[in-house]
Amino acid sequence: MSPHAMPLETTRHHLEDLLLAPGTGATPIQLVGSDEDLAAVPGRERRWVEARGWKPTAGAVLLVPDEAGGIAKVLFGTGGADWGQQTPMLTGALPGAIPAGDYEFSGALPDPDLAALGFLNGCYRFNRYKSSANEEAKCIVLPEGADRDRILAMAEGVYLGRNLINTPANDLGPAELEAVARDVANTFGATIKVTEGTSLLSDNFPLIHAVGRASDRAPRLIDMHWGAESAPKVTIVGKGICFDTGGLNLKPGNAMSLMKKDMGGAAAALAFAVMAMRTKLPIRLRVIVPAADNSVAGNAFRPGDVLPSRNGMTVEIGNTDAEGRLVLADALSLADEEQPDYLVTFATLTGAARVALGPDLPPFYATDDDFADAMLKAAHAVGDPVWRMPFWAPYDKLLKSSIADVNHISDGPFAGSVTAALFLKRFVKKAARYAHLDIYGWVPREQPGKPRGGEPNGARALFEYFSGDRNA
């Protein structure tokens, strides 16, 4: 791991410092949802509100001074009584609007865990490359009824995912991604196996090798196991393309500028793993990450090539810029051999998904309706939204190849996210349930609890699903 990277335990200790024990003397944060709530503010404070022209719109913050010129309290606008359902992470707007210090929520919260988590997520800053970035801490007291361990686990996973995505590719290649996975495994006592370079060929991962062979940074398959053998088998596969030039179908510059985030699926998979292992979820967790660069060189794979895959299916290459589904195909074949109860892919897979649903709402595909319904509810509950899309079988014919078993892209401009999902589904035969999240992995405009930059979309939603009794 690069000497500038933050080890997992360092992140944990940082977050523990931000979440204070009850009883700590702290500045109160009063939630104000309406003008009626505002009318209940004491007279002197209300005159200050009126003088400032402040309104309790969602995310609005007003510092109320005391007689000595300090801060007596913070007024925080929620925009209405249902803010906990509409914007569960709204408290993430606070850290960017208040000075350093210790704070605590006064009054009832719709979800104490998410109120604290939103605050912690809003505290995140990626300052790894800043020469002077000594921000004073903004801390929150653990709200009454909140689960400290659960909050810290979720924040720790999110911070790890964001750090990975935000790190530029010169400091995060396949080897560095492996080092982070080993740090996670060592922290929680997981086992890990890595297949690297030409060993991918001898161990029958030909598609991963084909995608990564043009880079001077060797491709690899990272395979981590954790949990009791008797527990339900949950396997997460995360796309780990550390940089995507598009290969010989070279991307234009404006499309390549954010391709450090093309390992966002791996980041989300590892983020979920941290949440699951830190809270000791009763699952048998397996995390598989095919890690590679999609580079340009004389030995790069080409449009029109026909490549073998792990499960024996031959794949015609329609475009080298659709490399993610290739590395995932071999990884899915490996995962499927174990017949997991749940098999889930996280991948920054298609631009078509962004056209359909934008950057904030990842398409979610699932073969099991009960799982899909519960996952959608979990995602909504924790403010980590997904939207179900169909494995629309009639579109499978768009992947037809005249010379191979399948073409890995469709022959037209339509339904790009659906056809990509259908391609992946071809490599899943034995898993009881399969789901695929086509994530963006990036926040283009700052939102409450989500600073601009990397975001492991879907990780908290999946964690929420498995945290209850829905996996029984």
Q: Which residues sit opposite 289 in a β-bridge?
A: 222
Q: Which of 294, 272, 296, 291 is nearest to 283 (CA)?
A: 272
- Maximum alpha-carbon separation in the chain: 81
H-helix or E-strand containing 193? strand 191-196
Distances (CA, A) of 49 to 35, 45, 53, 184, 443: 11, 6, 6, 48, 32
Taking the C-alpha atoms of residue 282 and residue 277, their distance in angstroms, rounded to an integer, is 9
Give the active site residue among 162, 325, 425, 426. 325
Beta-sheet strand order (sheet of 27-32)? 19-20, 138-141, 101-106, 27-32, 71-77, 61-65
The CA-based angle 364-367-369, given to 5 degrees, is: 85
Q: Distance (Å, rounded) from C-alpha 332 to C-alpha 309?
A: 11
Helix (H) / strand (E) containing 288: strand 284-294
Burial per residue of 171-188, b for 16 or more beta-carbon CB atoms within 10 angstroms, e otherwise: ebbbebbbbbbbbbbeeb
What DSSP assignment string belongs to 141-209? EPPTT--HHHHHHHHHHHHHHHHHHHS-TTT-SHHHHHHHHHHHHHHHT-EEEEEETTHHHHTT-HHHH
Question: Do 174 and 212 touch, CB atoms closer than 8 A?
Answer: yes
Nearest-angstrom CA–CA distance, 250 and 321: 7
Given 46, 150, 182, 251, the catalytic residue: 251
Cβ(460)–Cβ(158) under 8 Å? Answer: yes
Indicate if 325 belongs to the active site: yes
68-77 burial: b if 16+ Cβ within 10 Å, else e: eeeebbbbbb
Angle between helix axes 264-278 and 148-166 (nearest 10 degrees) is 160
Active site residues: 251, 325
